[in-house]
Amino acid sequence: MKTIEIKSAWQGNSDCNACSIRSSALFAELNEEDFSKIHSPIDDLRFEANSGIYTQGESAEHLYTLREGYIKLLHVNSDGSSRIVRLVMPGDLFGMEALLEESYAHSASALSNVHLCRIPKAIISSLGEESPRLHRQIVKKWGEALAQSESWFSEINTGRIEVRLARFFLRVAKASGEMAVAPLFKREDMGLMMDVKFETISRALASMAEQGLISNISRLSIQIPNMEKLKSFSQAGA
């Protein structure tokens, strides 16, 4: 069961200045009075890995910003097949269709333990009526998120699977001492992102380790001994 902490994100419990909500293009034009109307009712939530945030078809009442962790957006087709359509990373906004649609177009689930903020759409909608520019920013931000998602998923669905994994790791890796560390999700989730079977993911990871591209494969992460070598590998296989 998910662990939830509900409290105001803006009353000394969170670092407002560092939060992606305040600095994002979506809210940058708001003055402090208008922004205070937004952050007062925000819920500061924590979910454990594999918890559901919302489901496809559910009434869309909130939008979200991710502060820590990773979230997958999963779409189920009419034939029952499913596909991960976006990987949400720290700083990203998601669930933005809540401002334009009646229901969510996909399900959101935690790939890791996550920390996020939940914003009632009624608050944003009321401000949008007063500020047409805010409404335009919402549409623009949503379009940018979709374009970035389509571009990245095109990259990780083209070429040999080892090359696609290299591109994935380069996108999500973080420096850790002399090496870089990238998160590793369940093989089934990785397969849904790249449209391959999970066994293919496992074999590709083993192959990359043999080539010295990655090391110390665990259930939750891999290490990258040399980022430049991995980058060259990803480009050579393009």
The larger pLDDT score, comparing residue 38 to residue 4, is at 38
Least confident among 83-92, 181-190, 200-209, 210-219: 83-92
The reply to whether 44 and 61 lie within a common domain is yes
Q: Is the pLDDT of residue 10 over 50?
A: no
CATH number at residue 62: 2.60.120.10
Could you list the residue range(s) of the whole structural domain that residue 112 is in? 16-152
| Same domain? 67 vs 169 | no
116: three-class secondary structure by DSSP: strand
Position 13 scores a pLDDT of 35
Q: Verify that 59 and 174 share a domain, yes or no.
A: no
Residues 44 and 66 in one domain: yes
For 153-166, give one letter per residue: b (16+ CB within 10 A) or e: bebbeeeebbbbbb
pLDDT for the residue 21: 56
Number of folded domains that form the chain: 2
Residue type, 187: R
Question: Residue 95 phi/psi, 5° resolution?
Answer: 75, 20
**Whether the Cβ atoms of residue 123 and residue 111 lie closer than 8 Å to each other:** no
Burial of 143 (0-12, 13-18, 19+ CB in 10 A): exposed
Q: What distance in Å separates the CA atoms of residue 117 and residue 103, rounded to the nearest whole number?
A: 19
Cα distances (Å, whole numbers) of residue 221 to 20, 169, 215, 217, 236:
25, 10, 10, 6, 24
Q: Report pLDDT digits (tens) over 164-173.
A: 999 999 989 9
**β-pairing, 107-110 with 52-54?**
antiparallel
Question: For 2, which DSSP code?
Answer: -
pLDDT for 107:
96
174 and 71 in a single domain? The answer is no
